[in-house]
Chains A and B, each alone.
Chain A
């Protein structure tokens, strides 16, 4: 397994996808937090602290997309064929990718939080203590998001369709499903991950489960998508 993990890391190091994804994420975290620091005074409540810290949750979306890319790019470029010739037990390949995606998701979370804390603590007197639930939730959700992304990539096998469907689901589908499911929408993936990064502060949104339930739900969806991805991959002709 360690060989496969090393190979996965090498795959990411030898193309620029990871570099561009990291830079884009840092930019998307830095712009709003710098904007907040420039336009606001010090935070006045624990809720403000959590709200500012939540900017780092962009890392979760990038972790999901990176997880998709870790598998989907191999399907799109056809390199999955050579990967499976070296390691024909497909579940092991998927497991190695999930390990790397979880670690990179966590790293994304850490980097995003470093930017938020580095800018917001001096800029708006952010209280890390007040925001600790949000920060911990983002780290966990980023790692889980990476694993979920690998599962989605394995299900779709191609990067493009997987990214499009995932973004449509996260940005549009669950918002529409609220009309049909009402408060049961809180059990769907995007809402569960949102609860995980809310740090126990739903901001009055009744469509979010509690933080710990969100963390558990994020882990549940990561495992389910990875398991479905493994099942699809094991049956797929490559």
Chain B
């Protein structure tokens, strides 16, 4: 299990991560969201042992990345798609990592095929598109078939086909019971694939929940239909709730449970009681108060 406990990272006067704590559930896809500069990349890099925290800890199964036995066999990471020698071929890049990890060249060829880079494998990475580099990064992360995958903005630079490939790939990993922790600014994609999301803002945790609960919570509105709508309206208004709508359908700014309890207490018949879920983007904006998405 990935666990972040009271994590803080300061760069001189700037605080990138500020007392952040959360857990990532094993065997699930967890989205990691936040506006630009929220501290997502810093948090991921601390988790991967690349950045030293000022205080707190980020662990995988209770161990820091550095203390893991053969970490590449446990955790695969996809970071920015610029970490390549421009003159080295894609295949040689993977062979270099494979040699350090004790993985065979056969696995390298298998992965090049898997990520669709077999044809370009002998070309220098400097000539790759951003999407091809992302695919090469994914191949590198999968070299030793890790059970945890950490991805920082993996959809960057991918065309629609690439994004679809990535989505199917992440779903297949989840189906195998692997843990996926993914930061992204493509909130629609996260909404489609993630079981849970962790949202941070200014280095602090804003919310952690499953996607459905989070979007319902952000919306906060309940649609209710009743043959006794007038009585229900009065009852809800007496309870201090904001009620809108005409006819037999009302919109109430309150959780469905509260609306249902009030109706039951007055013996009012309901024909429909529905939480109006917001999109993840709406939830994100409501929680962070930002006009832009994360990076």
Contacts and interface: CB of A to CB of B under 8 A. Distances in A.
Interface of A: 3-4, 6-7, 10-11, 14-16, 73, 77-79, 81-89, 235, 237-238
A82 B97 CA distance: 8
Of listed A11, A86, A238, residue having the most chain B CB within 10 A: A86
Nearest to B64: A88
A4 B100 contact: yes
B83 A14 contact: no
A88 B85 contact: no
Given A82-B140, A86-B72, A6 B66 contact: no
B100 A16 contact: no
Contacts of A235: 52
B71 A88 contact: yes
Contacts of B49: 84-85, 88
13 contacts: A7-B100, A14-B88, A14-B89, A15-B88, A16-B87, A78-B82, A79-B84, A81-B50, A82-B83, A85-B49, A85-B71, A86-B101, A87-B100
Contacts, number: 74
Contacts of A85: 48-50, 71-72, 77
B21 interface: no
Contacts of B88: 11, 14-15
B100 A81 contact: no
B250 to A, nearest CB: 54
A7 B86 contact: no
A16 B101 CA distance: 23
What are the 7 tightest A-B residue pairs by CB atom distance, in nearest-first order? Answer: A7-B100, A78-B83, A14-B92, A7-B99, A237-B51, A88-B66, A86-B100
A77 B50 contact: no
Nearest to A235: B52
B99 A10 contact: yes
Contacts of B68: 88
Contacts of A6: 99-100
Contacts of B77: 85
B50 A238 contact: yes
Contacts of B101: 3, 86
A120 B65 CA distance: 55
Given A10-B99, A81-B83, A89 B66 contact: yes
A114 to B, nearest CB: 28
Given A3-B99, A6-B100, A86-B97, 4 more contacts: A10-B99, A16-B87, A81-B83, A237-B45
Given A4-B100, A81-B79, A86-B72, A15 B140 contact: no
A7 B96 contact: yes
A121 B48 CA distance: 56
B97 A15 contact: no
Nearest to A85: B77
B102 interface: yes
B122 to A, nearest CB: 11
Interface in B33-51: 45, 48-51
Given A85-B71, A88-B49, A237-B52, A73 B85 contact: yes
Contacts of B92: 10, 14
Contact of B65 (A11, A82, A88): A88
A58 B97 CA distance: 33
A83 B100 contact: yes
B52 A3 contact: no
B95 interface: yes
B100 A79 contact: no
A28 to B, nearest CB: 23
A84 B65 CA distance: 10
A211 B86 CA distance: 43
B151 to A, nearest CB: 13
Nearest to B82: A78
Interface string B246-257: 000000000000
Nearest to B67: A88
A237 B50 contact: yes
A52 to B, nearest CB: 37
A168 B65 CA distance: 39
B130 to A, nearest CB: 14
B50 A78 contact: no
B95 A14 contact: yes
Contacts of B84: 77-79
A191 to B, nearest CB: 35
A2 to B, nearest CB: 10
A232 to B, nearest CB: 13
